[in-house]
Amino acid sequence: MKSGTASIPPAHAAILGVIRAIPRGKVTSYGEIARRAGLPRHARLVGRLLGDYSALKLPWQRVLRADGRIAFARGSAAFREQRMRLIEEGVAVANGRVDLGRFGWQRDLDEQLWRMA
């Protein structure tokens, strides 16, 4: 057959996999996800996919802009929902922004290394 199944392209799968790997209570950026997926400079694709694959119930609330700010407009419903979901899992959101120094994914590594020393 001509692959009638609109299977998920490898690039998409890689990105979705990274998104699913973000620990609860932690956040990361569109660009970082792209890099981890082996697709540097594809931050915009990450955002596109979050919307396209919304049916997969991904932890989209853990994805923020590179500076820690929520990508949606301040007054939008999406903005409020993301803020709520983050707070719900213990991530502090002040002025639509999350302190990546405290909740940024990968910061966990430093934490572990710290504990080891």
Interacting residue ranges for DNA, rule: CB under 7 A: 9, 11-12, 29-32, 41-48, 50-52, 54, 60, 63, 65-66, 71-72, 78, 82
CB of 73 to DNA, least distance (A): 9
Question: How many other C-beta atoms can be found within 10 angstroms of the C-beta atom of residue 65?
Answer: 15
* Closest approach of DNA to the CB of residue 71, in Å: 4
Q: Which is nearer to DNA, 56 or 108 (CB)?
A: 56
The radius of gyration of the chain from alpha carbons, rounded to an integer in Å, stands at 15
DSSP count for the chain of H helices, then E strands: 6, 2
Nearer residue to DNA within complex by CB, 20 or 112: 20
Q: Considering the complex, state which of residue 3 and residue 117 has its C-beta at the smaller distance from DNA.
A: 3
Per-residue CA distances from 6 to 2, 10, 103 (Å): 10, 12, 36
CB of 36 to DNA, least distance (A): 12
Q: Tell me how far the alpha carbon of residue 84 is from its chain's centroid.
A: 15
The secondary element (H helix, E strand) that includes residue 29 is strand 28-29
Least spacing, CB of residue 116 vs DNA, in Å:
28
User: 87 or 112: whose CB is closer to DNA?
Assistant: 87
